[in-house]
A = this chain, B = another copy of it.
Amino acid sequence: MLAAERREHLLDLLARTGKIVAKDVAADLGISEDSVRRDLRDLAAEGLCQRVYGGALPASPAVVDYDARQTVAPDGKRQVASVAAALVQPGSSVILDGGTTALAVARALPKDLACTVITHSPTIATALIDHPRAELFLLGGRVFKHSAVTCGAAAVEAAQNVSAELCLLGVTGVHPEAGLTTGDADEAAMKRALAARAADTYILASCEKIGTASPYRVLPWEKITGLITDADPHDTVIGQLKTLGVEVLVAQ
């Protein structure tokens, strides 16, 4: 592993997990703690991180301000994203929906993960440009401005030509009776088309979506593999979903 690459890795880790433990990283990468410490010292000297006893933390808020605004996903979404990102196997293909939670998933993917990402969101495509080993496929079509994703006939048609192991879908409503719902008919159709092209479909649902419903039905429960959420596992709605046979992955 190149020294510069190692430093990249550290920054990436810091951005994703919010902290670095020198000992752990050294063990992970199979290098001495001294090297890690030296790197951290250098990074701190450049203002890229804050050195603390035992490891490092992100640089002071003032410095990361700009990045932070971009990366700022509420904790819940970040946790959901992190669980979802872990589902993506090296070498596999994943269909990634648009939306802020899906964007958080894109950002939670390790920088050096070799996988194929298929998406209908230009925002997500842009976010993944700097993942050198990720193969990117963008589904074209009319851009639906409200959600910043492509939708409509052309986009659905484009989706017919891809397939993947995994589909990670965002929705705006998760309700025991109403099912999975969203605010636009075209968007709902697009989500259906995406889900149909993957072996497994997981729903990304940060806790504020649970128990709510939007006008347009996306999918019935039978069509999905599971739900990823940061909601309290003992929540009554979550309980109802489990009764319906939905696999619930809880992000804490």
Contacts and interface: CB of A to CB of B under 8 A. Distances in A.
Given A18-B112, A130-B61, A141 B143 contact: no
Total copies of this chain within the assembly: 2
A148 B142 CA distance: 19
A135 B151 CA distance: 13
Nearest to A20: B2
Interface residues of A, number: 50
Q: Is the interface of A mostly helix, strand, loop or mixed?
A: mixed
B132 A145 contact: yes
A30 interface: no
B53 A3 contact: yes
B18 A2 contact: no
A140 B143 contact: no
Given A122-B126, A137-B140, A137-B141, A132 B15 contact: yes
Nearest to A14: B132
